[in-house]
Structure 1
Amino acid sequence: MNVAQEIKVASEDRLRADLYNFLGLMLSGPPDQLLINQCVGLAGDEGELGKAISSLSRVARVSKPKKVESEFNALFVGLGRGELLPYASYYLTGFLNEKPLATLRTDMSTRGMVRSPNVYEPEDNIASLMEMMGGMIVGRFVAPVDLNDQKLFFNRHIAPWAGHFFSDLEGAKNSILYASIGSVGRAFIEIEREAFRMTAA
């Protein structure tokens, strides 16, 4: 049996990890029809995050993979560069491959995280950071990380810029489906920020 399967994770933490992983998946590459269909099947409550999830479901219902791929490329790839540069270093310093990336690499190393061999983008990409948080919560890298260590990682690598990025994604001129992803991400980051603020240091 896989060690990860034996790890007990509280259901609310598993839901948090699932949302981090979902955002990471949607931001790492254009979704295929299966993933778009999963978006269609989402339903939310009346809170801000729930409304954003319901809106994503409605947009996904009329989205086609080819169109979403064009949208993803315009946003993140482009000719030379996309409309947005989804990197902590860029958002925090105005340049790529700066100190935030070096700090992240150090923190990854101490937590047993390594970049996948088939990933060539800098590790401070928003998709990678979402996947790292999801993995730390459920113990994908080593044992599940306690709340204080999650808070430390979140406050150091995600809180200072991810909300701004998701707001930019909501308002980007090439955003259609990804505007809804931006709304989900922005609402979720705000919930996480507030929850961590209320936890003991």
Structure 2
Amino acid sequence: MTQVSSQTRELAPEEADRAAIYGFVARLLQAPPTSADLDVIRRLAADETEFGQGLGQLAAAAREADVNALRDQFNALFIGLGRGELVPYASFYLTGFLNEKPLADLRVHMASLGIARADDVKEPEDHIAALFQSMEGLIDGSFGPTDLCTQRTFFTRHIASWAPHFFKDLAAQTTSPFYAALGALGGVLTAIETEAFDMTGREA
């Protein structure tokens, strides 16, 4: 959803993993998975960490899922006839309406960081998938060099204030076990990142 440059840089393995995780979750929130996507997700292995357990639950849900059914579930959850069951935009969660001040603030911040919406994207930039793609780019250097402080500021301003509520709602819905597992995984990711940024903020 966001415009990415070719300025990726060498990353420490843990930073590369963070970027990949943001991109992975963003991809599944942007569009329903393809058959190839499902094949990959079904092979994900759990580990003892909370995030690893979330991956395991998503893999288990993928093994029970059908690609055509997931397409219908994605549409019911996020698109619908006029509106889906969930509205995955910061403005909506923070104000009850689309295209409100949180979106305007985000656009100003994005411009200052050199992030722009891709020309072929029509959705507002405060969609959860676009915000996660922005975090991916800030981590991997796609938008030019950035530091942890820049990442923390973007996350705190535009994700931490509402994404946990969205992921809780996604995890609680009963339309799709797969997307419920994705909601749980997204909730774990935002909690981990919030704790890590809080810790780095205290150390700064």
Query: Shorter chain as normaliser: what TM range?
Result: over 0.9
CA distance in 2, matches of 1:38, 1:51: 16
Native 8 Å contact 1:31 1:68 kept in 2: yes
Native 8 Å contact 1:169 1:175 kept in 2: no
Post-superposition shift, 1:52? 1.0
Native 8 Å contact 1:89 1:124 kept in 2: yes
Answer yes or no: is 1:24 the counterpart of 2:26: yes
Secondary structure of 1:21's aligned partner: helix
Post-superposition shift, 1:4? 3.4
Aligned position for 2:7: 4
Aligned position for 2:199: 198
Aligned position for 1:61: 63
The count of residues paired between Structure 1 and Structure 2 equals: 198
Aligned amino acid, residue 129 of structure 1: L
Aligned position for 2:149: 148
Structure 1 segments of 4 or more deviating over 2 A? Answer: 2-5
Aligned position for 2:186: 185
Q: Which runs of structure 2 are paired with 1:107-118 in the superposition (5 Å)?
A: 107-118=109-120
Answer yes or no: is 1:138 the counterpart of 2:147: no
Q: Which runs of structure 2 are paired with 1:68-79 in the superposition (5 Å)?
A: 68-79=70-81
User: TM-score, normalised on structure 1?
Assistant: 0.95
Q: Which runs of 5+ in 1 are unaligned?
A: none
Answer yes or no: is 1:96 the counterpart of 2:84: no
Native 8 Å contact 1:71 1:176 kept in 2: no
Secondary structure of 2:181's aligned partner: helix
Aligned amino acid, residue 77 of structure 1: I
Q: Which runs of 5+ in 2 are unaligned?
A: none
Post-superposition shift, 1:173? 2.5
Please give the per-residue CA displacement for 1:55-108, whole angstroms capped at 9, x wherever unaligned: 101111121110000010000011110000000000011110000000100011
Native 8 Å contact 2:137 2:143 kept in 1: yes
Secondary structure of 2:7's aligned partner: helix
CA distance in 1, matches of 2:74, 2:60: 18
Aligned position for 2:174: 173
User: TM-score, normalised on structure 2?
Assistant: 0.94
CA distance in 2, matches of 1:178, 1:74: 11
Aligned position for 2:35: 33
Native 8 Å contact 2:44 2:59 kept in 1: yes
Post-superposition shift, 1:15? 0.4
CA distance in 1, matches of 2:55, 2:82: 32
